Amino acid sequence: MAFDFYLSTMWSVLKALPLTLEIWFFGIAFGLLIATGLTWLRASGYKLGEYFTRAYVFIFRGSPLLVQLYLIYFGLSQFDFVRHSPVLWPILRDPMYCTIVAMALNTAAYESEIFRGALRAVPVGQIEAAKAFGMSAFTRFRLVTLPIALRLALPAYSTEIILMTKATALASVVTIMEMMGTAQKIQHDTFRPIEVLTCAGVIYLLLNLSIARIFAWVEYRLSPHLRPPPEQSQQIRPVPEVL
C-alpha cells in the first residue's frame, strides 16, 4: 500500500521532469548568452561597460531570485507599454517565459564573474608566448586564452549549473507545474507531505548527482596534464640505452 503510493507519486513527479529540464535548459542557454556579453563588456576596457557590468552583478547577486522573479512576472506587467507591446507582452504574461528570463538574468551575473576570474587566471606567460609567435589578437584568443579559461571556469560553472537545477523549483510559485509544482499538488491532495517530498527529493538529488558526474567526467577528460602518468608494467618498460 505504502509502496504503491511511493511508486505512483514517483511516476507523477517524473512525468513533470521534461518541463523542469526545459526551464533548466533554456535558463542556462540564455544565461550563457547574456554572461558572454557581460564578460565581453567587462573585458573590453570601456569604463562605461565596466560600470554597467558591476552594477548588473551587484543587483542580480545581491537580491533573492524570488524577488527578481516576482518583479518580472508581477511587476513589469504594470507598465502599459509592456502590456501593449507585441513583443514584450507575449513573453511577460507567460509564467514559463518569465521564469526562464529571471533565471537567465540571475545566472548571467554569477557566470560573468566566473568567466572574468577564469580569464584573469590564464597564465601571462602563455599569452606572451602566443604574442611572441606573432599570433593575431583573435587567433590568440581562440587558440590560447579561450581554451585555458574555459578549462579553469569549468568547476565553478558546474556549481552554477547545479544551483540552476535547484532554482527551477521556484517556477512552482508562479503556477508552473514542473516537478516541485506537481509534488505540491499531490501533497495538498493527499496530506502526506513527507512521503511526497521525499519522492521529489530523490529525483532532484539523482538529477544533480548525474549532472555533477557528467561535469566531473568532462573535467577529467580536459585535464590529461594533471593526471599521474599511467603506471608502466615491468615487461614493457623500455630497456635503458646503456645496455
Partner 1 sequence: MEFLSDLQAQFSTAYELLAAGWGVQLLWGIAWTLAVTVVSMLIGAILGSLVAAAKLSPRGGLKFIGESYTTVFRGEPELLIIYLFYYGGTQVLTGVARSTGSIGSTDILNMPSFLGGVLAVGIISGAYQAEVFRGSFLAIHRGELEAARAYGMSAWLRFRLVIVPQVLRLAVPGLGNVWQLTIKDSALISVTGVAELMLTANKAARSTHHSLLFYTVAGILYLVMTSVSTPIFEKAERYTSRSFTRPK
Residues in touch with partner 1 (CB under 8 A): 58-59, 61-68, 70-71, 74-81, 162, 165-170, 172-173, 180, 183-184, 187, 191-194, 197-198, 200-201, 204-205, 208-209
- Burial letters 22-57, b for 16+ CB under 10 A, else e: ebbebbbebbbebbeebbebbbeeeeebeeebeebb
Q: Among residues 122 and 163, whose Cβ is nearest to partner 1?
A: 163
Shortest distance, position 221 Cβ to partner 1, whole Å: 23
Shortest distance, position 47 Cβ to partner 1, whole Å: 22
Q: Among residues 151 and 166, whose Cβ is nearest to partner 1?
A: 166
- Residues making up the chain, counted from first to last: 243
- 110: which residues sit within 8 A by CB, 6+ positions away? 60, 61, 160, 163
Q: Among residues 51 and 79, whose Cβ is nearest to partner 1?
A: 79
Shortest distance, position 163 Cβ to partner 1, whole Å: 9
Q: Among residues 33 and 214, whose Cβ is nearest to partner 1?
A: 214
Shortest distance, position 159 Cβ to partner 1, whole Å: 9
Shortest distance, position 235 Cβ to partner 1, whole Å: 37
- 179: which residues sit within 8 A by CB, 6+ positions away? 13, 16, 17, 19, 20, 168, 169, 200, 203, 204
Q: Among residues 81 and 138, whose Cβ is nearest to partner 1?
A: 81
